[in-house]
Amino acid sequence: MNKALKIKRGLCSIVCSLSVVVPSAVASMEQPHYVGTDEPFAEKAVYFVVTDRFVDGDPSNNYEDQGGEYPTFNRPVLSESGQAIANIGYMGGDFAGIVNNAGYIAEMGFSAVWGTPIIDNPDQAFSGGLAIGEGFPTDKFKTGYHGYWGVNFYKLDEHLPSGGLQFAEFTSALDEYGLDFVLDIVGNHGSPSFDMPTDQPKFGEIYGADGSLIADHQNRSPEEIYATETESGFFHNFPDIGQLSNFNENSPIVVEYLLNSYLYWLDQGADAIRIDTIKHVPNHFWKTITDGIRASYPDMFFFAEHWSHDAEAIAQHTKPENGGISVLDFPGQKAMQSVFGLDDQPMSDLLAYLHLEDGIYENPYELMTFYDNHDMSRMNAKDAGFINAHNWLFTSRGIPVVYYGSETGFRRGQGEHAGNRDYYGQDKVDWGVNHPIRRALIDIAQVRKRSVALQRGVQINDTFSTDTASFIRAYQDESVSELALVMLNKSAEARSVSLTVPHSCNYKEALTGREMTIERGGWSQRLEPNSVAVWLCSSPFAL
Ligand SMILES: [Ca+2]
Ligand SMILES: [Ca+2]
Ligand SMILES: [Ca+2]
């Protein structure tokens, strides 16, 4: 057990003893402990929105005429046949759109919303880089609707808030629905900063908390940045991603500017942090940032994007010396798409990414698990594939993240710049309330929301075959015991699923409420097509 886990366990023993009634004297000090993680954030499930593309709850902040000769609103990208295949402009989504649907999100069992960055981005479309539609259909380097092109890290982008719904009010409103807000932060770059025919306002510029200009790329290529500037100032004199400015993480000015900006939003109610493009900045920077934030918020939970399918590569961030940052589980993402998507690969292909016992990750139970996001093709699956993916995502190790619209199979199979980030909208939300994917997601996500074993329990795999899988999740500390027997069938036909039951108990099946005494030893159950069963035992056990 790692040091961080021991500390957390120490915290939990205080919290848990206050909040949980010990059922009886049988919960003795001697009973074995089974704890995957005591990280508080592990109880969460996260709904991820590209805020601009979720729901327009307030047309008055759309700025439809913004940008002049470089307009920013509703810029469809057309295919050769004239079909709109993407949009590179703002589409109107905002804080109000999220708050208006907070009940819809919470009903699905989510307890956190991760939204794209909230900070001010340029107010024109970018005139440099590739032309629209040049080569690969692209929305790259055009407008900052996604929020990742910060120019003032202390100021909300004008498209997001409404009167009476500034950031602090937004996080408070989400709190009323039991929803945390995950702040998406960028430490690597600002906005596109060179290659413009004529320098455009805000592009390449960085503004301070008081609104003053503190750095300006001046439309120069990185090689044209003076060495004396980069030593003391904001930008490296070598490029990194496209035409984006490349922040100099070795500058105390940069570190102070960014660290204080993150704290500024945390002080207004952001609850956790997602780190963009972590691999583009050295680990020492993130260690400084996480230490600086934890000085004020000791329990702050971070997770990062390091887009690699190599577990060893992404695991470096989880180590305490690098900041103890959880990561989005890209190896798991790839496996889930192949197993639950149209490729229909065997369930046994899910085993390789778990790394339950090999120590690659500081703690595999704290990883963020998902099957697609805004930077890749959405999963291409039948409705049943989404249902089976959620049944796995909400019962297996890790903290689930689901991308907006997945609850109806929205734009399934569509690429990053070819429909993946299309506008969802209130009409679609209302239309999809009873979608079969969403109904099944509610069922399994609500089971996880009530189950400490599914949130934090140790996972012990049993049988993984072509269409079926069975495993155990076990959580036990000095005051709480929960054993979960999980069985999955992703076949379109009923299947018998087998499991070696480690402990005799009167189990209750969490989705149906059915109760049954199941004896220790070999056992099998017939599962309906595309279904899951979670048998729970809450009396003390030993494995
Ligand atoms: Ca709006
Ligand atoms: Ca702006
Ligand atoms: Ca960099």
- The CATH homologous superfamily to which domain 3-37+456-537 belongs is Golgi alpha-mannosidase II (2.60.40.1180)
Please name which ligand lies nearest the alpha carbon of 165. Answer: 1
Structure-block tokens of residue 438? 């969403």
- Phi, psi at residue 382, to the nearest 5°? -70, 170
How far, in Å, is the centroid of ligand 3 from the Cα of 305? Answer: 14
Q: What is the pLDDT of residues 284-336, one digit of tens each?
A: 999 999 999 999 999 999 999 999 999 999 999 999 999 999 999 999 999 99
Give me the pLDDT at residue 231, please.
60
Please name which ligand lies nearest the alpha carbon of 74. Answer: 1
The residue among 113, 73, 71, 122 whose CA lies nearest residue 95 is 113
How far, in Å, is the centroid of ligand 2 from the Cα of 264? Answer: 18
* Cα–Cα distance for residue pair 347/488, rounded to 1 Å: 9
Ion ligand 2, residues whose Cβ is below 5 A away: 120-121, 123, 157
The residue among 139, 121, 143 whose CA lies nearest residue 130 is 139
Give me the pLDDT at residue 227, please.
74
Amino acid letter at 269?
A: G
Q: Where are the domains of the chain?
A: 3-37+456-537
Please name which ligand lies nearest the alpha carbon of 91. Answer: 1
How far, in Å, is the centroid of ligand 2 from the Cα of 534? Answer: 47
Please name which ligand lies nearest the alpha carbon of 59. Answer: 1
How far, in Å, is the centroid of ligand 3 from the Cα of 277? Answer: 9
Please name which ligand lies nearest the alpha carbon of 143. Answer: 2
Structure-block tokens of residue 298? 């000791």
Q: What is the pLDDT of residues 350-361, one digit of tens each?
A: 999 999 999 999
* Cα–Cα distance for residue pair 354/361, rounded to 1 Å: 10
Sheet harboring 205-207: ordered strands across?
A: 119-120, 152-156, 205-207, 213-216
Cα three-residue angle 46-315-322, rounded to 5 degrees? 95
The residue among 336, 343, 425 whose CA lies nearest residue 51 is 425
The residue among 491, 472, 481, 487 whose CA lies nearest residue 540 is 481
The beta-strand segments (E) located in 247-317 are 272-275, 302-304
Look at residue 405 and give its three-state secondary structure: coil
What's the whole-number average pLDDT of the chain? 92
* Cα–Cα distance for residue pair 311/316, rounded to 1 Å: 9
* Cα–Cα distance for residue pair 461/470, rounded to 1 Å: 7
DSSP state of 499: E
Structure-block tokens of residue 52? 């601009």
Please name which ligand lies nearest the alpha carbon of 254. Answer: 3
Ranges of the chain with pLDDT below 70: 1-29, 132-141, 230-232
Give me the pLDDT at residue 171, please.
98
Q: Do 43 and 456 meet the contact criterion of CB atoms below 8 Å apart?
A: yes
Structure-block tokens of residue 469? 């899988």
